[in-house]
Amino acid sequence: MSSSFGEMDDSFRVLSLPPTATEAEIKKAYRKLSLRYHPDKAGKDVDPIKAAARFHEINLAYETLMDPAARARAVQRNAEDAAKRERQEQYQGRRRQMADELERNEQQALRKRQDADKAARERIAKIAELQAESRRLIKRKQQEADDKTRQTNEAAAEKRSKEEERAKAEIEPELHPLDKTVRVQFPTSQLPQLTASASGSLAAPSDPLTTPLAKTLQSQFGELEHLQFQLPASGKKIKRELMALATFKTLASAWQAVATGGEMRCTGLLEECFIGWAQYTRNSETKEKVYVEPKRVSWYKQRGILRPSDIGRVRPTVMPLDDARMDHTPQESSSTSAVYSKAYEDRTLQRLRDAIQKSSLPQAQAAQ
């Protein structure tokens, strides 16, 4: 069994004894603890496994402390440790006394420095206050100069902006393919005539640009680029009117078609047709289509070019800047479209009345 100082101290700790304990005190402590932790005598509140481990530890500590030589060395070492602690306490006492005196001296020096620092701070604060006042005056003068410069720059920028907007307003809006596209609405009964197809057929022509409708549009208004019939799918209900989308090569041709067909003034094969712009937006509330005219047409009208024939012949009038900013709104276009639609509806109703009147004539004659 080892009798080192570490094991000796641990043994005293296990038996809860001071290093100066006598042999009688060791035996007494051993008997008390061995009775408590003996595996056969341990109470119900002690875990048997932990009690066995503790009992083994108590036996080892007892055997270690019952070695007289080891215990004597432990006592001697404790005495030496006590003497060492006493010397250290005396040294610490003198050290604390010197530290207290040093602290008093440092506090006195600190108060002197604090007083000197306070006086220096007061001088610095006064100087800083004077400097701040000087900066405020300089800043105020600079702010006044900056405000004046900013106002001058803003006025110049606003002038340039107005000039740029005025110049931009004089540039024709970009022309898109849909701007040259119109919608042609016609009675469903007229489809065979417009497509040169068999009566009752709703099949789209293989080459729309060769149909009578395409030829008539080209002869009356101008050359076409594309023509598409909007026909109902198989099995869908057939409406009273159908529609075709015609794209002209020039905006003037499309405009002329809308100007004439929108007022139901077309002749020949197009007499029963209504022509309007194909481009539309949707009403945010009713979700209905609102047809609008191209921006370039609106631009022309705002500058005095009121008819397609005026393009290139009438010089655009320079409008005031506020007027130049105004676009042709969907509401304006919708009102124009409403006029066109009313003309088309009136013509359609009149056509229905004529058809009813013609069908009633044979019946009246037969009755007579």
Question: How does residue 148 score in pLDDT terms, banded at 50, 70 and 90?
Answer: very high
Q: How far is CA 22 from CA 6, 10, 58, 74, in A?
A: 19, 16, 17, 12
Question: How does residue 237 score in pLDDT terms, banded at 50, 70 and 90?
Answer: confident
pLDDT at 318 over 80: no
Are residue 45 and residue 190 in the same domain, yes or no?
no
pTM: 0.49
Are residue 334 and residue 192 in the same domain, yes or no?
yes
Has residue 190 been placed in a domain? yes
Per-residue confidence (pLDDT) for residue 219, from 0 to 100? 94
Reported as half-sphere exposure (CB side, CA atoms, 13 A), residue 128 has a value of: 6
Strand, coil or helix: what is 295? helix
Has residue 72 been placed in a domain? no
The span from the CA of 351 to the CA of 353, in Å, is: 5
Higher pLDDT among residues 365 and 126, named by residue: 126
Are residue 203 and residue 330 in the same domain, yes or no?
yes
Residue 187: Cβ within 10 Å count: 18
Q: How far is CA 304 from CA 313, 315, 323, 345, in A?
A: 11, 8, 13, 30
Per-residue confidence (pLDDT) for residue 221, from 0 to 100? 95
Q: Which domain range does residue 54 map to?
A: 5-66
* Chain-centre distance for alpha carbon 156: 36
Burial of 243 (0-12, 13-18, 19+ CB in 10 A): middle
Report which listed range, 41-45, 75-79, 103-107, 363-367, is most confident.
Answer: 103-107
Per-residue confidence (pLDDT) for residue 339, from 0 to 100? 44
The mean per-residue pLDDT over the stretch 44-68 comes to 80
Question: How does residue 364 score in pLDDT terms, banded at 50, 70 and 90?
Answer: low
The span from the CA of 43 to the CA of 37, in Å, is: 8
Are residue 190 and residue 60 in the same domain, yes or no?
no
Last residue of a domain, one of 17, 35, 66: 66
The rounded percent of the chain whose pLDDT value lies above 70 is 82
The span from the CA of 184 to the CA of 229, in Å, is: 9
Has residue 141 been placed in a domain? no
Has residue 225 been placed in a domain? yes
Residue 270: Cβ within 10 Å count: 25
Q: Which residues partner with 263 through β-bridges?
A: none
pLDDT at 345 over 70: no
Per-residue confidence (pLDDT) for residue 55, from 0 to 100? 84
Which amino acid is present at 162? K
Per-residue confidence (pLDDT) for residue 36, from 0 to 100? 81
* Mean per-residue pLDDT of the chain: 81
Question: How does residue 229 score in pLDDT terms, banded at 50, 70 and 90?
Answer: very high
pLDDT at 329 over 70: no
Question: How does residue 144 score in pLDDT terms, banded at 50, 70 and 90?
Answer: very high
Has residue 147 been placed in a domain? no
DSSP 8-state assignment for residue 259: H
DSSP 8-state assignment for residue 307: S
Has residue 22 been placed in a domain? yes
Per-residue confidence (pLDDT) for residue 343, from 0 to 100? 57
Per-residue confidence (pLDDT) for residue 356, from 0 to 100? 65
pLDDT digits (tens, 9 = 90+) for 70-121: 777 766 777 777 788 888 888 888 888 888 889 899 999 999 999 999 999 9
The mean per-residue pLDDT over the stretch 183-212 comes to 88
Last residue of a domain, one of 43, 66, 89: 66
pLDDT digits (tens, 9 = 90+) for 275-310: 999 999 988 888 888 999 999 999 999 888 999 988
Has residue 304 been placed in a domain? yes
Per-residue confidence (pLDDT) for residue 362, from 0 to 100? 59
| CATH code assigned at 305 | 3.30.70.330
Longest dimension (CA), the chain: 158
| Sign of CA pseudo-dihedral 202, 208, 210, 214 | positive
Provide the terminal-to-terminal Cα distance of the chain, rounded to the nearest Å. 149
Number of separate domains in the chain: 2
DSSP 8-state assignment for residue 189: G
| CATH code assigned at 53 | 1.10.287.110
Last residue of a domain, one of 66, 88, 103: 66
pLDDT at 196 over 80: yes
Has residue 74 been placed in a domain? no
